[in-house]
Structure 1
């Protein structure tokens, strides 16, 4: 049976846990440590923790907060936000983080990706790629929490990042973020066809059926979501949740296994 990782994505802003819609309308949803404790009980596969304003505000990673969160987590944690030096990478991994996530620095300092992969292995290096369509309908990579157009297309960018040493790509659709409209499987398909490393799909998930589509139609290796795990539809009341292992097995893993026989 094919086992695909299902990963809650926690967004940090001013020390608190927030959720956005298309990278705007940030809504405070609680304390990140409380969320981690609930996800422990849900037996989630891993967590992605992103400080979404660190690079914009030119802040270094908050090592103390990272340490506090990771110390409560019973699952692997990946952290991104404000990472600009190899010393910061060392400090983050020292606190027990399994993977470091690069976004803005992947554009501005690609050599940092290479050095991190050289020192700690490609499996510890994730490049987060935030993508939106421009007014011409072309996919473009954005940085600084979606505020800056990097002027490159996602396919060529992920290829360059894998060549630089990235062991995993975290592909986030800005246009689908927080919308519950499902993953952008066209974008996923383009990216997954271009690289031979795992691609984590993020942006738009509303149900476990979206998980299956992202794998079947887009070729995703893992599935990340935010709003689906912190909001109860339709009124977006805050409720930390996660599909049961039984539901994931029935609706995602078994159908995928049957399809690959």
Structure 2
């Protein structure tokens, strides 16, 4: 999840309700197809939008880098564990290579395809979430949740989480670099050794989180949070023609893709 990045791009100017609905529609599209080709096209489309709004790709890489080992693990598990009768395509039922267990555990093409599909789905979800948060100010999030008739305390919790998750990510990197500069050993050989080595990072981060929560509580009291049950907003949500056109276009594309899936396309 990325922090809000001010800009005047087309995605920034869209109504927050349209962005939320498009987010849900594209999420549905990423889960209706099992073939990696369809999910790869969707991932490429979202990546083009990401590049279009000029968000540094290095920020997205910071979110994807910890997932790289999980991606390789997913391909390995899906390739060796899925039996051939799970796939409809004859090519997907073929063996790519044999493993080293007993007489050789088969690694199927279908398992490889399904593993790639899972990777593209995760990538799509990460990029979509980053696009949504990076192009939507907090005021729009608040109005969106208010329009959904959510209770005010729940709205505050959700918006606070959206606001401070990128902040905590930055603080983790700052504490990590500071402790590393002091010569702290932040790497271990085993699982428990790695947890023990990460304690010098977790303790300052935990203390800083408590300080942030105290400052936030003081700021809320000084601004009279909760004094009035009725809240107002400077800017009201108003749909424009470009919002209707964009949402209608995405809705038609989503409906067409669902129809293709019903016809049997996109199945391994």
TM norm structure 1: 0.21
Of Structure 1 and Structure 2, the greater strand share is in 1
The higher relative CO (CA closer than 8 Å, separation ≥ 6) is in 2
TM norm structure 2: 0.21
Of Structure 1 and Structure 2, the greater helix share is in 2
Of structures 1 and 2, the larger Rg is shown by 2
